[in-house]
Amino acid sequence: MKNPIAIAITFAMIATSVTVFAASETSTPTAAKALVFTPPNDEEIPNNEFGKIVRQGKNIFEDTQHYAKQYVGNSLNCVNCHLASGRKENSSPLWAAYVRYPAYRAKNNKVNTYEERIQGCFKYSLNGKAPAVDSPEMVALVTYSYWLATGAPVGAKLKGAGYPEVPKPGLIPDANRGKTVFVENCQVCHGSNGEGKKVDGKYIFPPLWGSESFNWGAGMHRINTAAAFIKANMPLSKGGTLTDQEAWDVATFVMSHERPQDPRFKGNVAQTKKEYHDENCRYGETVNGKVLGGKHQTAAK
Ligand code: HEC
Ligand code: HEC
């Protein structure tokens, strides 16, 4: 796997209908090359039974609140964190994810199918219930992802996959500095209390913390992951404008607020923190005299 041109030709021969070539930036000369891939346009969704399910999956992805409401426990939609209907590079796009599963995940210490990965986003990111693998909602989401990945080389690391990691900055990330970044760059859309903004009862800007946001078990609650998402995608349509330091600081500020309990919680914040949380999150820390994650420490009356 040394000659990028030879690799590109091999893939180009496999994937005749798409342009796939070696991208220029790679971390080390020996690392697997990231390949450029462009998903098909919506106009190319076929007008048949298959196309119908693809469109269903797209609808669920964009308006999960409406099309899969029985599985959602907050006010978010899939598209809030996977922008442009799951197409946007560096926003964990579906086409790049689809070809990389089954994959091992440290989070549950096993090889996960693509369906299991989506179930995770329902349970944590949407603070809801996981739809069964053979439910119409899951089938549609998988079908939509499969269609977006039409012609992509299976198993390949595609350019734009995931949220690109942001190196730890020079200063220890700080919520107070992060608050300034938030007030100047985020508050106008997400609200001074991170509550988001509704028009006609529908969120146009999603909530960043509080009961309507993702829970303490979601990938986004990890400061490194949030910094990565934010740096590449926020402020909306101005991705890449914050410095690494600002991205980490504002992520730290956002994650210094209360949100729904980690579903893996078994009655004790300290124990849950020890078992499931590391230095990249603030769960269990005391902020303004209150323990984060401690709101539901005692059973509701
Ligand atoms: C609150 C934000 C958020 C929401 C809402 C959300 N996700 Fe995710 N999703 C994430 C994060 C964070 C990751 C992990 C990405 C990473 O670590 O690179 C992820 C990962 C994924 C992956 C795997 C990506 C990969 O490259 O391995 C898929 C597939 C996925 N989500 C689908 C969905 C679907 C379908 C929904 C709606 C049912 C959804 N997500 C809702 C934040 C979210
Ligand atoms: C111009 C409006 C706007 C600004 C400014 C903005 N956002 Fe967003 N943000 C959005 C929208 C809209 C989405 C959902 C994207 C979608 O659904 O396509 C979003 C999604 C998010 C999400 C994932 C979903 C969630 O609710 O958690 C996070 C985290 C986030 N923004 C953080 C930030 C931060 C931090 C800043 C400031 C650095 C910021 N945003 C600035 C509009 C904005």
Which pLDDT score is estimated for 24? 38
265-297 as b/e: b if 16+ CB within 10 A: beeebeebbeeebeeebbbbbeeeeebbbbeee
- Ligand 1 pocket residue status of 99, Cβ below 6 Å: no
Domains, the chain, ranges and CATH? 4-148 (1.10.760.10), 175-291 (1.10.760.10)
Mean pLDDT, residues 2-7 taken together? 44
Mean pLDDT, residues 7-22 taken together? 40
Ligand 2 pocket: which of 234, 244, 250, 252 to mutate (most atoms within 8 A of CB): 234
What are the tens digits of pLDDT across the range 238-264? 999 999 999 999 999 999 999 999 999
Which pLDDT score is estimated for 33? 75
- Is the pLDDT confidence value at 29 over 60? no
Contacts of 189 (CB under 8 A, 6+ apart): 197, 205, 235, 236
Beta bridge partner(s), residue 290: 287
What are the tens digits of pLDDT across the range 81-105? 999 999 999 999 999 999 999 999 9
Question: Would you place residue 110 in the very low, low, confident or very high pLDDT band (cuts 50, 70, 90)?
Answer: very high
Q: Which residue did the predictor score with more confidence, 299 or 256?
A: 256
Pick left, alpha or beta for residue 200 (phi over 0 → left; psi -120 to 50 → alpha; otherwise beta).
Answer: left
Q: Are 71 and 137 in contact (CB under 8 A)?
A: yes
Question: Would you place residue 276 in the very low, low, confident or very high pLDDT band (cuts 50, 70, 90)?
Answer: very high
Mean pLDDT, residues 207-222 taken together? 98
Mean pLDDT, residues 64-93 taken together? 98
Looking at the CA of 240, name the nearest ligand: 2
Which pLDDT score is estimated for 75? 98
Ligand 2 pocket: which of 75, 89, 236, 252 to mutate (most atoms within 8 A of CB): 236
Q: Which residue did the predictor score with more confidence, 95 or 28?
A: 95
Torsion sign across C-alpha atoms 254, 255, 259, 260: positive
Which pLDDT score is estimated for 38? 97
Q: Are 217 and 264 in contact (CB under 8 A)?
A: yes
Nearest partner of 144 among 55, 277, 240, judged by Cα = 55
Beta bridge partner(s), residue 197: 205
pLDDT, averaged across the chain: 90
Mean pLDDT, residues 130-152 taken together? 98
Question: Would you place residue 60 in the very low, low, confident or very high pLDDT band (cuts 50, 70, 90)?
Answer: very high
31 CA → ligand 1 middle, Å:
24
Question: Would you place residue 32 in the very low, low, confident or very high pLDDT band (cuts 50, 70, 90)?
Answer: low
- Is the pLDDT confidence value at 3 over 60? no
288 CA → ligand 1 middle, Å:
31
Question: Would you place residue 34 in the very low, low, confident or very high pLDDT band (cuts 50, 70, 90)?
Answer: confident
| 83 token code pair | 């922008």
Residue owning tokens 């039409």? 150
Which pLDDT score is estimated for 295? 79
User: Residues of the chain with pLDDT > 70: what percent?
Assistant: 87
Task: Give the residue, by CA position, lying nearest to ligand 2 atom 43.
Answer: 236
Q: 105-112 long-range contacts, Cβ below 8 Å, gap at least 24?
A: none
DSSP element (H, E) containing 111: strand 110-112
